[in-house]
Amino acid sequence: MIIIKEFIPKGRGNRPGYSMDYQYVTMHNTGSRSPYADAKAHSAYILSDSAANRPASWHYTVDDGVIYQHLPLTENGWHAGDGGQGTGNRKSVGIEMCENSGIDFNKMEDMAAKLAAKLLKDKGLPITRLKQHYDWSGKNCPMVLRSRKNGWVEFVNRVVRHMASDKIDYDKPKYQGIVLSDTLNIRSGPSTRFDRVNSLNKGQIIDVYAETGIAPYVWLMIGKDQFVSNAEGKYVAKYEKPDEVLKEEDDMLDVAITINSFVDYPMAEVVARKENCPIYPPGRTVKAKKLIVVGGRAPDGFKGEIIALGGKDRFDTARKVEAYINK
């Protein structure tokens, strides 16, 4: 991302110089369709007397090749139309997106989204701090995005995607989902404007790495550059594994000992030495294929093989244990 810094000189009418700790990022469209109205031309304009006298200023202008920066991020500009004390003017970074005829809007918007994502991330601000000029003053701006169907939602999705893309751990899905609809398209980005790259069928289990978009138009990132819609939660439900059965088998012991009373512990130790296995105290769930019960009864629900070494009393138990270890 190439950013050319060409700051408005200090003291100009459109460099107010109020210090700013920005809390928002505000998007605009320039409103100029002239083929020459690129970022460089806007940089020239913002340095002109006409811009100084209005006064009008913002922080960045983005076209499809380059970004110009006109003000430091620590100072405010006059771009939001909400007055001298307005939050838009005093607490937000203004980004103008060019619309000169012939511009590659897709490329320009991606650069603008990347810039907005970086600005939000640098300050630890959530996506909800991304604003339209419209939000501050009701002006129909950014008009290109606002007049395109789903334009703003898709732009926000792009910003989220750029915010997420460098911290996704593809070894660690956030959760698993199960496909609810008969077929579900996988797209290369979080919008129906992106290419369909594959599809899923009902009942398939998918790994979900991130959620993007604005509710209810949520998109799930299920892999690198792979997205599925989950608008209104209709297409994918969170999938809970029925049971951790396999995992339990993994740490299942061959043999274990359980006791019902600590008076049986000395005898249990004798058995433990022979079998080289652990002793579980009363009331503990035991995962083992074979369970030796020293004193008392086997715990309820144990499904493996049980060797009962319980007697009428602890002397009787001791005799049974002795017979077992001498076997």
Q: Sheet containing 183-187: which strands, arranged edge to edge?
A: 196-201, 183-187, 226-229, 219-223, 210-212
Provide the 3-class DSSP secondary structure of residue 264: helix
Cβ neighbours of residue 6 closer than 8 Å, sequence gap 6 or more = 43, 47, 68, 69, 70
Number of residues that bind Zn ion (CB under 5 A): 3
Contact status: 28 vs Zn ion (CB under 5 A): yes
Quick one: which segment of 49-57, 59-67, 100-108, 126-134 binds Zn ion (CB under 5 A)?
A: 126-134
**Rounded Cα distance, 282 and 98, in Å:** 73
**Rounded Cα distance, 303 and 325, in Å:** 24
Contact pick of 95, 97, 141, 218 for Zn ion (by CB under 5 A)? 141
User: Given the complex with Zn ion, which of 103 and 218 has the nearer CB atom?
Assistant: 103
Q: What are phi and psi of 237, to 5 degrees?
A: -115, 155
Provide the 3-class DSSP secondary structure of residue 95: strand
Contact pick of 42, 70, 133, 158 for Zn ion (by CB under 5 A)? 133
Q: How far is the CB of 155 from Zn ion (least distance, A)?
A: 14
User: Given the complex with Zn ion, which of 38 and 275 has the nearer CB atom?
Assistant: 38
Provide the 3-class DSSP secondary structure of residue 223: strand
Q: Contacts with Zn ion in 89-108 (CB under 5 A)?
A: none
Contact status: 42 vs Zn ion (CB under 5 A): no
Contact status: 59 vs Zn ion (CB under 5 A): no
Quick one: which segment of 14-22, 44-52, 130-138, 262-270 binds Zn ion (CB under 5 A)?
A: 130-138
- The answer to whether 259 touches 295, Cβ cutoff 8 Å, is yes
Q: How far is the CB of 96 from Zn ion (least distance, A)?
A: 7
Contact status: 113 vs Zn ion (CB under 5 A): no
Contacts with Zn ion, residue ranges (CB under 5 A):
28, 133, 141
